[in-house]
Structure 1
Amino acid sequence: MRSTRRTLLAACVAVGTLASLTACGGGGSGSSGSSGKSATYTFWDPYPQFDASSDWGKRVAQCGTEAGVKLKRTGYDTTDLGNKALLAAQQGNAPDVMLVDNPVVSTLVEAGILTKTSELGLDTSSIQKNIIGAGTLDGTSYGVPIGANTLALYYNKEVLSAAGVDPASIKDWASLTGALKKVKAAGKKGITFSAIGTEEGSFQFLPWFWGAGADLTELNSAKGVAALSLWKQWVDEGYAPKDVLQNTQTTSWQEFATGDYAFGENGTWQLGNAEKAGFEYGIINIPARNGGSAPVPTGGEFVTVPVQQDTSRYEVSKKIVTCLTSDKNLLPTDTTLMYVAPTTAVQKEQVKANPKLKPWVEAVASARGRTSGGLGTKYPTISQQMWTAVQAALSGGKSPQAALDEAQTAAGKG
């Protein structure tokens, strides 16, 4: 227990958003509840926007019913959920099942509070390797993805047509920049994205960074500098607005939805809003520097089972996880959450039901987990330095090379 307690304290420091370190101290060992035959199980997720009457709320409740228990669900904001999970584990009252953002999985594993899927007897063989990879450490998976989302480029058909741009001609950075130049010359606006100084900014920069062939272990490589220089060129030449420095993915979408922009970098979750935008739109994959589709970051959550002292509870928890992630339930669940399913079989059903999902399925197929490749809990430090460099370069405070040199030095010390 002493070792676990020290690890939990370190994890709390890594998360860095708890009110104080004392919140991670104290607490004691103890059961997360009564015996495995208890009629009530607890479930936490990052969807406070969905109440019990929502499709998601009803689905969770139904899975409890099918498992023979009452499932008490609580929704928290994503960051708050990670913090509360660490604190609950320290106090010995972790929830039975928890849905967490995929980059958080590695932090919780390092803290020793998640159960291996193999120990629970959960089958993850049908899940795409790159999607399960976001919740896998040292070859072991610690959760089952409920779905995935990622990024692509939405485009305004009318704006491109007026500028004489065929979206099919955009195959690399040069052709995209050429299209932006034509759009500006035609009196419209080029591209909007989020470069805000948070994880959202890193999330949106990663396709360009990876699309240049850069690696997160070397932020200041020539390839990484090329990616940041591209964004800086767009801002300096007026192809992208200066407010990308403050744009969240939501405000960036709102800009695109005005109908003035040719392109908007955004995610699967905006499909519903795209249908309401009032103009015809299309979607293309984000191009890599020299052609082809750029790797994009995997978004989405994993259903996990926190470690319990009363191991008899795992049998019911497994039933709940299986219910939420089975093929028969993934289609309606992922449609509700606007996620691409993590299995090929369900993806085919999704595209059949909604052909507009086809480019998103293709994008998810080439997506990467942000913590994959052995980065694990190193990723948050690297990401913070990345978004800091983006902010410094786009604001004119530093050159892309200087900003990324400083970021690499700081990430190495983190």
Structure 2
Amino acid sequence: MSENSVNPETMADALKSVHQVKVGDVVKGEVLAIEDKQLTVGIENSGVEGVVPLKELSTQPIDDIHNEAKVGDELDLVVISTIGKDKENGQYLLSKRRLEAQKVWADIQKEYEAGHTVMAPVTQVVKGGLVVNAGVRGFVPASMVADHFVEDLSQYKGQELEFKIIEIDPAENRLILSHRAVLEASKAEARKEIFNKLSVGDVIEGKVARLTNFGAFVDLGGVDGLVHVSEISFDHVNKPSDVLKAGQEVTVKVLNLDPEKNRISLSIKAALPEPWTNIEDKAAAGSVLEGKVRRLTSFGAFVEVFPGVEGLVHISQISHEHIATPADVLKEGQDVKVKVLSVDPDAHRLALSIKALTEAPEGASEENNQPRRNNNERSNNRGGRGRRGEGSNNHTKIPAEYQQEDNGFSLGDILGDALKDANKN
């Protein structure tokens, strides 16, 4: 046999080894050339070439095509279409990305069936939710991002989060994920643990998670408890955001636990020292303090001298001159200086005076400082108790803590001439 002759058996074997390439086939391709936007590959055992566009190289973003392959590399590819009409010498459009995606979909399907979660970075914030890269494109509806309303979703861009698979349909490239479900499951477990170890009265550390108009939610370690605005401070608080900020560490006391409703009521002020502690040192009799008028009544003004500590300035202690009502000379929110007449720590009572800090005008008398009742009030009380609803119901109601006679002024001082009239009648 001459050197130029061809062995029939060798030719037959070669022809058998060449197979026809069809769309959908998974093939091996050897990288023959690398351009900026594509690879040229030789399809194994086919005698034909194909191209892999840059976007079909990977499920991940590509900065430089040369980092993905080099000449001589063998790649697993899937045939996605033909290029041109010359079947003998025609080229094929190939994809490495779609082959990877098929494997990713298969893996995600297994995780879904097993009830597992997946980790994925947030790549985009779009109208209605988040787009994530789970190897394939996944979508998180806005309602499934968190366990509370989030106004600005842009804070999640770039974050890698854990998701529960809600819906999967590889044929439609549809993957719906939920981060909220992961948070709720985690909190349910943490809540169970928290409720088992917490008791009413416990004082614990927490972190302000978020603020609302009615209070602050404090994270106790995966579970939030509510500090109502009235429980933030002994001082008056208009808005929680005036005194607290998200992320702030706080000490709280457990007021109530309701496992059935998953509610924990907390207090910041209850974990603080009691405001009346050592009040006899802070507000000793004879001392002068600065305060703010908090409430006005017919019999006097309540002045806050320390957060959570109010004292009574009886109407007879407001001015050297006679006044009909405290509102004639004072208003709520007004800053005043007061002198402590007496202090009773056990009864949480302070007797205060404004007029003691001012000089009495010439000719002023104590009698002018007592509240007087008009003739109609006097006539209504004549004849004893009278009909039901008359008589005693016309007396000014005094808070219980001030209905004693050792507070720097007597009960008669509080009631003024009203008590004298009652005795006459």
Superposition TM-score tier, normalisation by shorter sequence: under 0.3
Higher strand share: 2
**Highest CA radius of gyration, 1 or 2?**
2
More helix by share: 1
